[in-house]
Chain A
Amino acid sequence: MNHTSFSAPGSYRHEQKLALLLCIFAIVLAVAAPRFFAPPNLAALARSMGVFLIISVGMLNVILTAGIDISAGAILAVVSVILVRFANHGMAAPYVLLLALGTGIALGAVNAVLIAELRIPPIVATLGTAGLFRGLLLEWTQGEWEASIPAWLNALGRPRWGRLDISVWAAFLVLLASGWILHRTQLGRSLFRYGDSPLSAHRAGISARAVIYYAYMSIGFLTALGAVFYAAQLGSVQGNAAVGYELTVIAAVVLGGADIFGGRGTLLGTFLGVLLLCSLQQALTLLHVAAFWQNVATGAIVLLGVLFSAASRHAKHIPSQSGAPA
């Protein structure tokens, strides 16, 4: 099928630059910390990327519609607590998983209702629901930890099939499925169109409701999926889990070249953004950099990435403004 060129991923120019950056980073690492490339370390890197990548794909869907989801961290905490609590009370695994994923989709739908029906700006709506979800969760748990998880959940987080756990394979499947939806279905294409210009999408007969509901329910679902592996890997959960997680996810997606104003962004870029952030953290740990300075480095990398994509965007899209004052 023909795809309109304005919303197609295009030349992947940003992704090429990001890949180049990763290559330079890899060369530096090869000299500074050759242990980084030892198979156990690479497997650990992949395992640290799984959950992050799954949720980042959801965030990409939302950012493509020019939205944002500040409540993702809260949803992650709610779902993981529900999952572990009900599992610990002896609910059968399939029902618990269904309950967890259903909760994620429902919480995403709450966001979508606020944004699509009440027309609250996404940042305000998800800011509000983040507090709402987190507050109710903390009231429910009373700040207590769920310190143990049942054996089947524990097994889910354990490495298998070549040092990798299921989260890595799940992330791979999520990437494939999202790629298909974003590029081969009408709904996926309309995400790009709507993010590019809601008005022109409306004129083209695209339902804004469908786009918004899909975007926020998909991040709800993917966050819930991530929460399952999050709980499985960690082995314990609590109401204050994953505070601020969504901001790192947004950083990764944006680092991957997604336009925060919607309409532009790729799965490949998101993958590279996640890879860069995760491998940076892994490398800094290997180099014995104190955890506090790792945040400084992460912040600097995010800023550089944003600068870098802004520079290429200015050069590409606004040549006419070069003569304007300021």
Chain B
Amino acid sequence: MSFYPPTLVQPSPPERARAASLRFSGNTEPFIVMPLVLLFCIYAGYRNADFWSGLNWQLLLQPLAEAGLVSIGMMFVIATGGIDLSAGSIVGVAAVMMGIGTHHGWPVWAMEFAALATGAACGAFNGILIGWLRLSPILATLGTMILFSGLGLALSSGASFAGFPDGLLWWNDATLLGIPVEFLVFVVVIALAVVLLHATLWGRYVIAIGSNHEAARYSGYPVRLSLFAVYSFQGLLCGGAAVLLTARLASARADMGQGLMLMAIAAVVLGGAPIAGGSASVLGTVTGVSAFYIVQNGLLLLGVPAFVQYALTSALLLVAVGLGNLLRGRGEEER
């Protein structure tokens, strides 16, 4: 007879196989989205040769990387059954901290550290509210969203900062083998996310909490600490996104992260993660966020007006999720 400590119960092989097949059948969205986006790419490349140019992809990959960082963090949050409405505000506060750093002539590393630390601290605050005080994530982060954006505005007096040193702007300018460094940061974070999700106990806890919060608690999983870590990690990634965003725009403002929060949630959902939690797919999330930016960029090159791009990318989310629901059949309804 074998003994497993409660946190390390191994599923038997058939169980594991079933779980894997369930996960595959449950996550249809990336397999809807990817061909759609590929078809779209072919069409866009046919209509406008610039679409496949190296410069276009360099310019495309940079904002993709910033949104990607927030999306990866959001993926962990949504996997626990939570949501982080404050992500955009955290990016804003972190960016403002860097602006204040420039104002006081801090060295570049100190500014970067300040942004990351601010992000992590804001995330940790969310983590305390949600992990220890057991507030519902949507409400807690709704409150902190207003709080953090107010903090960012108050610290900057609503002004925008400029005059960042070249050392910081390096993040935007530098390329390695033609690939923007910003995007390489995203690749590193993707790898980190895969390891965290699939090769650490924390990754298991995250999924377990999202599948069944109560069961995870009764199983003796460190629910509070795991949630705290999830939101802190999300805050840290928001701080990272703030560094990249500030470097790219060469300015910092309290409201500069505004669009990122909804984009991140949409990307995770487009990637096939159920909003109720219990499942996470790094591949899906990366597909989701890439789809948004590639389609937006393609529409731009096709000469579609900016506002229509915005409407169409939102429609993409609705179509993908709705289509996924239809394909998955009506079986769920009978539960």
Contacts and interface: CB of A to CB of B under 8 A. Distances in A.
Contacts of A295: 146-147, 149-151, 153-154
Interface in B8-29: none
B150 A128 contact: no
Given A135-B308, A261-B136, A120 B321 contact: yes
A303 interface: yes
**Residue among B135, B146, B276, B312 with the highest chain A CB neighbour number at 10 A:** B146
B129 to A, nearest CB: 7
B39 interface: no
A225 to B, nearest CB: 24
Interface in B106-156: 129, 133-136, 138-140, 142-151, 153-154
Interface stretch (A16-24, A226-234, A306-314): A306-314
B307 A138 contact: yes
A120 B325 contact: yes
Contacts, number: 162
Q: Give the interface residue-count category, chain A.
A: 35 or more
B262 A303 contact: no
Interface in B299-333: 305, 307-315, 317-318, 321-322, 325-326, 332-333
B310 A138 contact: yes
Given A296-B150, A299-B148, A326-B224, A132 B315 contact: yes
A324 interface: yes
B252 interface: no
Contacts of A254: 139, 142
Contact of A129 (B313, B318, B326): B318
B103 interface: no
Contacts of A203: none
Contact of A119 (B151, B276, B314, B333): B333
A296 B154 contact: yes
B83 A139 contact: no
B143 A299 contact: yes
**Residue among A137, A251, A303 with the highest chain B CB neighbour number at 10 A:** A303
A300 B326 CA distance: 42
B318 A120 contact: yes
A161 interface: no
20 contacts: A70-B262, A114-B322, A118-B326, A121-B274, A124-B266, A127-B265, A128-B266, A128-B314, A128-B315, A131-B262, A134-B311, A136-B308, A199-B335, A251-B142, A292-B153, A296-B150, A307-B135, A325-B218, A325-B220, A326-B222
List the 8 shortest-distance A-B pairs measured between CB atoms, nearest first: A295-B150, A135-B311, A299-B147, A131-B314, A299-B146, A135-B310, A303-B143, A296-B150
Interface of B: 83, 85, 129, 133-136, 138-140, 142-151, 153-154, 157-158, 217-218, 220, 222-224, 262, 265-266, 269, 274-276, 305, 307-315, 317-318, 321-322, 325-326, 332-333, 335
Given A293-B154, A299-B148, 11 more contacts: A124-B269, A125-B321, A130-B262, A135-B311, A138-B310, A247-B142, A292-B150, A292-B153, A297-B150, A299-B144, A302-B143
